[in-house]
Amino acid sequence: MSITVLLGAQWGDEGKGRITDALAAQADVVARFNGGDNAGHSITVGARVVRLHQVPSGIFRAGCLNVIGNGVVLNPRNLLKEIAEIEAAGAQVTPECLRISQSAHVILPGHIALDAARETSGDSKIGTTQRGIGYAYMDKASRSGIRAGAMADPQRFADRVHQHIVAVNTILERDYNKPALDADALAAEYAAAAHRLAPFLANTTLVLHRALEQGKHVLAEGAQGVLLDIDHGTYPFVTSSNATIGGVCTGLGVPPRAIQRVIGVAKAFSTRVGGGPFVTELHGDLAMRLRGTGANPWDEYGSTTGRPRRVGWLDALALRYMVRLNGMDELALTKLDILSGLDTLRIAVAYTCQGIRIDDLPQDSDVLAECRPVYEDLPGWSEDVRSARAFADLPRNAQAYIARIEELVGAPVSIVSVGPERDQMIVR
Cα 192 from chain centre: 28
Single-letter amino acid, residue 164? H
Q: 35 with 246: CB under 8 angstroms? A: no
Q: How far is the CB of 16 from Mg ion (least distance, A)?
A: 9
Residue 346 interacting entry, from Mg ion, ligand IMO, none, C-beta within 5 to 8 Å by type: none
For residue 72, the minimal CB distance to ligand IMO (Å) is 12
Binding characters for Mg ion, 141-170, by CB under 5 A (x = yes): ------------------------------
Q: Which of 428, 383, 384 has its CA nearest to residue 406?
A: 428
Tell me whether residue 73 or residue 402 sits nearer to Mg ion (CB atom). Answer: 73
Cβ pair 106, 73 in contact under 8 A: yes
Number of residues in the chain:
428
**Beta carbon nearer to Mg ion, 14 or 139:** 14
Q: Which of 13, 21, 37, 229 is catalytic?
A: 13
Instruction: Report the residue from 9, 13, 197, 264 that binds Mg ion according to the rule CB under 5 A.
Output: 13
Considering only 39-47, 115-123, 318-326, 418-426, which stretch makes contact with Mg ion by CB under 5 A?
A: 39-47
Minimum gap (Å) between residue 51 Cβ and ligand IMO: 9
145, interface contact from Mg ion, ligand IMO, none, CB < 5-8 Å by kind: none
Q: What is the CA radius of gyration of the chain?
A: 21
**Which of these ranges, 12-20, 192-200, 203-211, 404-412, lies near Mg ion under the rule CB under 5 A?**
12-20
Q: Which of Mg ion, ligand IMO, none does residue 126 bind to, with CB < 5 to 8 Å depending on kind?
A: ligand IMO
The DSSP secondary structure of 16-37, one letter per residue, reads HHHHHHHHGGG-SEEEE-SB-T
Q: How many Cα atoms are found within 13 Å in the side-chain-facing hemisphere of 397?
A: 18
CB atoms within 10 A of CB 392: 9
Cβ nearer to ligand IMO, comparing 153 with 281: 281
In angstroms, what CA-CA distances link 107 with 85, 111, 148, 272, 390? Answer: 20, 6, 9, 24, 44
Closest to Mg ion by CB, 105 or 267: 267
Closest separation between CB of residue 56 and Mg ion, Å?
Answer: 15
Residue 35 beta carbon to ligand IMO: minimum distance, rounded to whole angstroms: 6
Site size toward Mg ion (CB under 5 A) is 3
Pick what 61 binds: Mg ion, ligand IMO, none; C-beta below 5 to 8 Å, kind-dependent: none
Closest distance to ligand IMO from the beta carbon of 236 (Å): 9
Judged by CB, which is closer to ligand IMO: 72, or 212?
72
Q: Which of 21, 28, 37, 41 is catalytic?
A: 41
Which of ligand IMO, Mg ion, none does residue 129 bind to, with CB < 5 to 8 Å depending on kind? ligand IMO
Cα gap 173→339, rounded to integer Å:
49
For residue 134, the SS3 value is: helix
Q: Which is nearer to ligand IMO, 39 or 83 (CB)?
A: 39
Is 35 in contact with 233 (CB distance < 8 Å)? Answer: no
8 binding partner (options Mg ion, ligand IMO, none; Cβ < 5 to 8 Å by kind): ligand IMO
Buried b vs exposed e over 159-179: b needs ≥16 C-beta within 10 Å? ebbbebbeebbeebeeebebe
Active site residue 164: no
Longest dimension (CA), the chain: 64
Per residue, what are the HEC states of 244-312? CCHHHHHHHCCCHHHEEEEEEEEECCEEECCCCCCCCECCHHHHHHHHCCCCCCCCCECCCCCCECEEE
40, 110, 132, 247: which one contacts Mg ion (CB under 5 A)? 40
Binding residues (CB under 6 A) for ligand IMO: these are 8, 12-13, 38-41, 126-129, 131, 133-134, 223-225, 228, 239-240, 273-274
175 included as an active-site residue: no
| Residue 128 binds which entry of Mg ion, ligand IMO, none, CB below 5-8 Å type-dependent | ligand IMO
The string of DSSP letters for 194-260 reads HHHHGGGEE-HHHHHHHHHHTT-EEEEE--S-GGG-TTTSSTTSS-SS--STHHHHHHHT--GGGEE
> CA–CA separation, 81 vs 275, rounded Å?
28
Q: What's the one-letter identity of residue 184?
A: D
User: Which residue lies nearer to ligand IMO by CB, 225 or 419?
Assistant: 225
Residues of this chain that interact with Mg ion (CB under 5 A) are 12-13, 40
Catalytically active residues are: 13, 41
